Amino acid sequence: MKIIITERQYNKVIVLRRINEIMHEALLMIRDDGAFYGDVNFCYHYPTFEGFMEDMVEEIIRNYEYFNNFDISDFIYDEVGFENFINILIDVHGDEIREFYNSKTEDC
């Protein structure tokens, strides 16, 4: 049995697949904080959660492009939208990210 989909449906599937891959990068960053945030003074560099999220997205872009050879910055900025991507990231992994951030800033 063959299933025929439109180009728009195909593009939507590709976007969803890319977003899922990118979301995984965020979890890797907070689970292995020694590689990404080991000696960083969160109180100084990330006094707000919003600032941390913006930097996290930039780090995701750098990391994902390095390992996957895909221009994810155009995808995030042009296709999804930077603020929308942050909102999606918070919707999907917000609890883990906020817990990580709170543990790093508890002494501030």
- What are the tens digits of pLDDT across the range 43-92? 999 999 999 999 999 988 888 777 666 677 887 888 788 999 999 999 99
Q: What's the chain's average pLDDT?
A: 84
- Is the predicted pLDDT of residue 102 greater than 90, yes or no? yes
Q: Return the amino acid letter for 63.
A: N
Which residues are CB-contacts of 80 (< 8 A; sequence separation ≥ 6)?
15, 19, 88
What pLDDT shows up at residue 34?
63
pTM (predicted TM-score): 0.78
CA distance 23 to 87: 12
Q: In which element (H, E) is residue 73 found? A: helix 72-74
